């Protein structure tokens, strides 16, 4: 691999995530020998100015993680180059092709997806879409199935499917990948991973931040398209997919597509029963008063900043097991987790058969703010009581629990894994076209059901877990959202 080109190389994503990730890979000795890293953006600046700006961003993050090394930075800086370009113009991209040279190139489009079609067309004309080249697309690609296909058709005209890497940074998280190891590397879990043992599954992605000045983007996408279509459906697929024959990229992605195809459509009649839309109004988050979404925007809007949905997977493994998903802005805490709630024991022999004496097992896979996997099990309460009393305990399945003297590994940026995989051509953790199409198809059905039912967002005060209807989504089935205490 001769070069990695970062289109939008001076933008927020590049400076906040991509370039620090590349530094950490350099620090760990994982970047390919001879790889050039070329920032490409509209800003008219010299290479020296660009390198100085990159250092400022990288150094702050590396020092916070106690991973700053002048030697590592010097190696990283030697790889860096910069070129001011109009990425939508083939003529403007020709000097970039000269900088790349004759070797293979991976291009990361860290720009608005609305520019993808024009950029890849210009790349093809400039010679940056040859047989050994690759392109990485940041989500979301399009805002519905139709626009996704329009953009992706243009990408397909320039690159073959094996050359296209559609990124979802959640899949680069260590704990998400560990879910595959947990399920398919242990005989104690997979035989129980079905509707005979599991009562329901919860997926929560909570954010304390509001939309702020990002409202022009958010007004177009909302929580449904911004979060559910990609991050949350990807997590659902990893939980629900059948065991692949191996870890070949297509073997894994084939099983994920089967899950998406099995999702029960959301109809107009069902929309009010299985989905909840919400929009935050003024409230208090982390002890500070914050404005509502309409106040930030400056006028009224029907954009949802919160969504909760019940998804049902119509296949033999998951028939009757609801998957509850919720995500929103201005919630009480930043929390991303997957909760696997097992069924209670069929008959309790404790406390005279009181079923409340035995809590059902629960597996919690936490992604944020800290990555952790814990299993709740029942254990005898110490003491000499004549009747055996039980208590729930948390068994941590996270790294290092069996070696208290071991130093924990540095918490990696999810993009580190994904950038490294893209450079090596490993597409296992990336989204295939048919997978993205199936996700958009289901999300479009939800959106159409909302329109058909004139389904407007419910208000919820900033600093709460969404509108009361989100709690009712579970409570009417005798269930409740995980409080985060267990």
CATH 3.30.360.10 fits domain 180-409+437-475 = yes
Q: Which residues are annotated as a binding site for NADP(+)?
A: 42, 139
Enumerate residues 6+ apart whose C-beta is below 8 A from 80: 37, 38, 39, 47, 50, 51, 54
Tokens of 378: 């029942």
Local structure of 342: helix, strand or coil: strand
Concatenating the DSSP letter of every residue in 389-437 gives -EEEEEEE-STTTT-TTSPPPP---HHHHHHHHHHHT--TTSB-HHHHH
pLDDT in tens, the chain (486 residues): 589 999 999 999 999 999 999 999 999 999 999 999 999 999 999 999 999 999 999 998 888 888 899 999 999 999 999 999 999 999 999 999 999 988 899 999 999 888 999 999 999 999 999 999 999 998 888 899 999 999 999 999 999 999 999 999 888 888 888 888 889 998 988 899 999 999 999 999 999 999 877 778 888 889 999 899 989 999 999 999 999 999 899 999 999 999 999 999 999 888 889 999 999 999 999 889 999 999 888 888 899 999 999 999 999 999 999 999 999 999 999 999 999 999 988 877 776 555 567 888 999 999 888 888 899 888 877 776 667 777 788 888 775 555 555 555 556 788 999 999 999 999 999 999 999 999 999 999 999 999 877 788 999 999 999 999 999 999 999 999 998 654
Within 10 angstroms of residue 209's Cβ, the number of other Cβ atoms is 12
Distance CA 206, CA 225 (A): 15
The region, left, alpha or beta by phi > 0 then psi within -120 to 50, assigned to residue 453 is alpha
Report how far apart, in Å, the C-alpha atoms of 438 and of each of 155, 256, 260, 460 are. 18, 10, 6, 31
Instruction: Report the 10 Å Cβ neighbour count for 311.
Output: 24
CATH number of the 3-138 domain: 3.40.50.720
Both tokens assigned to 271: 């929309």
Q: Indicate which residue of 200, 231, 268, 347 is catalytic.
A: 231
Angle at 27 between CA 21 and CA 28, to 5 degrees: 95
Cβ neighbour number for residue 442 with a 10 Å cutoff: 20
State pTM to two decimals: 0.91
Phi, psi of 458 (to 5 degrees): -85, 145
Secondary structure of 30-71 in HEC code, one letter for each residue: CCCCCCEEEEEECCCCCHHHHHHHHHHHHHHHHHHCCCCCHH
Of the candidates 26, 97, 83, 72, the one whose C-alpha atom is nearest the C-alpha of residue 49 is 83
Q: How many Å apart are CA 253 and CA 486, to the nearest integer?
A: 32
The single residue listed with the structure tokens 């991976």 is 106
- CA torsion sign, 115 to 116 to 118 to 124? positive
pLDDT of 147 reads: 94
Q: Are 290 and 207 in contact (CB under 8 A)?
A: no
Report which secondary-structure segment, H or E, holds 116. helix 116-126
Contact 343, 199 (CB under 8 A): yes
Is 458 assigned a catalytic role? no
180-409+437-475 matches 3-138 in CATH topology:
no
Question: Which pLDDT value is given to residue 354?
Answer: 54
* Cα–Cα distance for residue pair 423/252, rounded to 1 Å: 20
Question: 């309409």: which residue's tokens?
Answer: 294
Burial degree of 291 (CB within 10 A; 0-12, 13-18, 19+): middle
Which tokens hold the place of 463? 């600093």
Give the Cα separation of 288 and 343 in Å (integer): 40
Binding residues for substrate, by number, are 169, 173, 207, 226, 329, 334
Q: What is the residue extent of each domain of the chain?
A: 3-138, 180-409+437-475
Are residues 161 and 250 in contact, defined by beta-carbon separation less than 8 angstroms? Answer: no
CB 241 within 8 A of CB 184: no
């Amino acid at each position: 691999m001769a070069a990695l080109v970062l289109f939008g190389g001076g933008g927020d994503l590049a400076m906040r995530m991509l370039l620090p990730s590349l530094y950490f890979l350099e620090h760990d000795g994982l970047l390919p020998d001879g790889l050039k890293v070329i920032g490409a953006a509209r800003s008219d600046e010299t290479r020296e100015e660009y390198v100085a700006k990159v250092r400022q961003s990288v150094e702050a993050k590396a020092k916070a993680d106690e991973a700053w090394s002048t030697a590592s930075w010097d190696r990283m800086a030697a790889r860096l180059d910069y070129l001011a370009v109009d990425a939508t113009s083939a003529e403007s991209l020709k000097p970039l092709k000269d900088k790349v040279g004759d070797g293979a190139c991976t291009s990361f489009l860290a720009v608005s997806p609305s520019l993808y079609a024009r950029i890849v067309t210009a790349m093809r004309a400039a010679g940056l879409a040859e047989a050994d080249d690759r392109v990485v697309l940041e989500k979301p690609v399009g805002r519905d199935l139709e626009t996704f296909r329009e953009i992706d058709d243009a990408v397909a005209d320039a690159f073959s499917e094996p050359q296209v890497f559609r990124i979802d940074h959640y899949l680069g998280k260590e704990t998400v990948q560990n879910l595959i190891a947990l399920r398919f590397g242990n005989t104690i879990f997979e035989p129980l991973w079905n509707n005979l043992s599991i009562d329901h599954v919860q997926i929560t992605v909570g954010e304390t931040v509001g939309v702020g000045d990002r409202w022009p983007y958010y007004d177009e996408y909302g929580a449904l398209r911004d979060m559910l279509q990609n991050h949350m459906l990807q997590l659902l697929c990893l939980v629900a997919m059948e065991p692949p024959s191996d870890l070949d990229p297509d073997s894994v992605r084939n099983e994920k597509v089967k899950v998406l195809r099995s999702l029960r459509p959301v109809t107009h009649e069902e929309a009010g029963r299985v989905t909840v839309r919400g929009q935050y109004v003024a409230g208090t988050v982390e002890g500070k008063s914050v404005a509502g979404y309409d106040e930030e925007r400056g006028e009224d809007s029907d954009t949802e900043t919160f969504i909760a949905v019940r998804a049902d997977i119509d296949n033999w493994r998951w028939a009757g097991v609801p998957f509850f998903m919720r995500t929103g802005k201005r919630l009480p805490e930043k929390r991303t987790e997957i909760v696997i709630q097992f069924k209670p024991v069929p008959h309790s022999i404790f406390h005279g058969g009181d079923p409340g004496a035995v809590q059902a097992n629960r597996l919690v896979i936490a992604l944020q703010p800290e990555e952790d996997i814990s299993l709740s099990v029942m254990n005898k309460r110490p003491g000499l009581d004549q009747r055996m009393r039980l208590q729930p305990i948390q068994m941590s399945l996270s790294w290092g629990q069996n070696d208290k003297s071991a130093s924990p590994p540095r918490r990696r940026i999810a993009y580190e894994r994904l950038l490294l995989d893209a450079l090596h051509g490993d597409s296992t953790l990336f989204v295939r076209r048919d997978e993205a199409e199936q996700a958009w198809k289901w999300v479009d059905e939800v959106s159409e059901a909302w329109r058909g039912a004139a389904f407007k967002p419910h208000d919820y005060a900033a600093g709460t877990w969404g509108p009361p209807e989100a709690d009712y989504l579970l409570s009417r089935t005798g269930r409740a959202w995980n409080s985060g205490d267990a």
